[in-house]
Amino acid sequence: MPDAIRLNDLANPQLSELQQAALDFGKTLSVTLDAEDILDEARQTLNLTDFGADDFKVRLELLCSEWDTHPTLNSLAKMNLRNKLLLFAKNRLLIQDLLTRHPEIHDIEIAAPIIVAGLPRSGTTHLLNLMAADSRLRSLPLWESYEPVPTPGEEPLPDGTDPRYQRCSDEWAAMQQTVPHLAAMHPMEPDHIHEELELMGPDFASYNFEWLCHSERWRDHYYATDQTPHYEYMKTVLKILTWQDGDSTGHNTRWVLKCPQHLEQLPVLRSVFPDATVAVTHRDPVAVIQSAITMLAYGQRMSRSRIDLPELADYWIARIDHLLRACVRDRDCLPESQSIDVPFHVFMADDIGMVEKIYSKAGLALTDAARAELQAFMAANPRGKHGQVVYDLRGDFGIDPEVLREQFDFYFKHFPVRPEVKN
């Protein structure tokens, strides 16, 4: 049995010496989030100047403005957020430079991808990583999602390691030191298969920024904005990755992807990927919420001057509600022949059996070789590999699970979801 992990200090963290040292270091920092300063540093670092269409600057400025004036973000968090924005700015320069030199990349097809859409913490990550074990499919490892285009002139390390991989590995090692229980909730190893949402980062788009710091102004801007151009941008980066693999047409590459944001963008997803097979996962929203806000609250010990658990819960209950109402509204835009619903309890009872059903929709046979690859992945990655977090929605957040579940009656009436959290 995996070790049980009970995080009973979410509101008032009991810090290790290393965690306290990191926070003390953060107090010595003076960090300002300024959009033009970030762009200037990106230009100077890479000696590139062309960011492409400049509509992204409005979004970057909004993020900088909201985060720079956030009342409880500490300087360590602001430094990490600035580094993230700087990385996206550099990625945007590299992407634009590559497309300028190789416009033929735009002609590559991203044909018939298999895409997982579902609530965060609803089995989407496990389903994606399981299908990604099938060597016939192309997927997006974390290290490549962070830096999809190599920096020209940057050589492999002496042992042959891609420096982008090493930077991702170093970042994960640091995270394991400061938030060691994160691995039990959401592993972030370099080889872990990640969301294509990260590829919208250089366009300074997507709801991913809310996970970095819940941001009301950013959320409202995202709600009010057509996301189609950002999905097209992400698709272009997938073309770049396909081209970098040596496939100049895309005909030899079939992607497997996933992102919870797709739940509230199903018409956009359908428009940008009209031949995709979409697997929509479904899980008790109460289980999803308690898992998500526990993970976020745990991480806030390194980023906030104080942790407001009711505020955190309110924000993400509303976000999950929005995701699910959009899914109920738009699920029928996906053709029955190209989509399948994946109830969490059914998937957990027979992982590979569910993959076979998804493959059937996608016109892909589950061969003996592919089955063996999936079974090998399962054997190497048992559930609870890094420990099992024990959640307590009522004890930690003062929320009655049954009362909260009533808010989502509309969802239970629409999909075959099984209630999980009772106490």
Summarize pLDDT for 298-328 with one digit per residue, the tens: 999 999 999 999 999 999 999 999 999 999 9
Q: How far, in Å, CA of 148 to CA of 116, rounded?
A: 21
Q: How far, in Å, CA of 174 to CA of 180, rounded?
A: 9
Across-strand partners of 277? 114
Whether residue 117 is contained in a domain is answered as yes
For residue 421, name the pLDDT band (cuts at 50, 70, 90): confident
pLDDT given at position 378: 94
Q: Give all strands of the β-sheet with 277-282 in edge-to-edge order.
A: 256-258, 114-118, 277-282, 339-343
Q: How far, in Å, CA of 404 to CA of 212, rounded?
A: 25
Whether residue 420 is contained in a domain is answered as no
Average pLDDT over residues 161-179: 94
For residue 183, name the pLDDT band (cuts at 50, 70, 90): confident
Q: Which two tokens stand for residue 152?
A: 């020209």
For residue 384, name the pLDDT band (cuts at 50, 70, 90): low
pLDDT given at position 121: 82
Q: What are the φ/ψ torsions at residue 370 (nearest 5 degrees)?
A: -65, -40
Whether residue 8 is contained in a domain is answered as yes
176 neighbors 123 (Cβ within 8 angstroms): no
Residues 6+ apart with CB under 8 A from 374: 130, 131, 133, 134, 351, 352, 355
Cα separation values, 287 from 153, 241, 251, 292, 372, Å: 47, 35, 40, 9, 31
pLDDT given at position 1: 40
pLDDT given at position 214: 87
Whether residue 419 is contained in a domain is answered as no
Q: What is the pLDDT of residues 340-360, one digit of tens each?
A: 999 999 999 999 999 999 999
Q: Per-residue pLDDT for 167 more than 60? A: yes
Average pLDDT over residues 194-219: 96
Residue 143 neighbours by CB distance under 10 Å: 23
For residue 116, name the pLDDT band (cuts at 50, 70, 90): very high
Whether residue 63 is contained in a domain is answered as yes
Q: Per-residue pLDDT for 202 more than 90? A: yes
Average pLDDT across the chain, whole number: 95
Q: Per-residue pLDDT for 2 more than 60? A: no
Residues 6+ apart with CB under 8 A from 142: 168, 188, 189, 190, 191, 192, 193, 194
> HEC profile for 134-193?
CCCCECCEHHHHHCCCCCCCCCCCCCCCCHHHHHHHHHHHHHHHHCCCHHHHCCCCCCCE
For residue 55, name the pLDDT band (cuts at 50, 70, 90): very high
pLDDT given at position 60: 98
Q: Per-residue pLDDT for 32 more than 50? A: yes
202 neighbors 46 (Cβ within 8 angstroms): no
For residue 422, name the pLDDT band (cuts at 50, 70, 90): confident
The percent helix, strand, coil of the chain (3-state, each to 5) is: 60, 5, 35
Positive or negative: CA dihedral 124, 130, 136, 141: positive
Q: What are the φ/ψ torsions at residue 51 (nearest 5 degrees)?
A: -90, 0
Q: How far apart are the first and last CA of the chain?
A: 22
Q: Per-residue pLDDT for 361 more than 90? A: yes
Whether residue 141 is contained in a domain is answered as yes
pLDDT given at position 188: 85
Q: What is the pLDDT of residues 233-288, one digit of tens each?
A: 999 999 999 999 999 999 999 999 999 999 999 999 999 999 999 999 999 999 99
pTM, entire model? 0.96
Whether residue 41 is contained in a domain is answered as yes
Q: What is the pLDDT of residues 59-106, one digit of tens each?
A: 999 999 999 999 999 999 999 999 999 999 999 999 999 999 999 999
376 burial (CB, 10 Å; 0-12 / 13-18 / 19+) is exposed
Across-strand partners of 281? 118, 342
Residue bearing the bigger pLDDT, 382 or 200: 200
Domain hosting residue 47, numbered range: 4-412
Q: What is the pLDDT of residues 394-409, one digit of tens each?
A: 999 999 999 999 999 9
Q: How far, in Å, CA of 133 to CA of 190, rounded?
A: 15
> HEC profile for 92-149?
HHHHHHHHHHCHHHHHCCCCCCEEEEECCCCCHHHHHHHHHCCCCCECCEHHHHHCCC
CATH number at residue 174: 3.40.50.300
pLDDT given at position 285: 96
pLDDT given at position 99: 98
Q: How far, in Å, CA of 286 to CA of 422, rounded?
A: 9
Whether residue 153 is contained in a domain is answered as yes
Q: How far, in Å, CA of 347 to CA of 136, rounded?
A: 22
Q: What is the pLDDT of residues 128-158, one digit of tens each?
A: 999 999 999 999 999 999 999 999 999 999 9
87 sits in which H/E element: helix 75-101
Number of domains in the chain: 1
- Around 180, how many Cα atoms within 13 Å sit in the side-chain half-sphere? 8
Residue bearing the bigger pLDDT, 353 or 381: 353
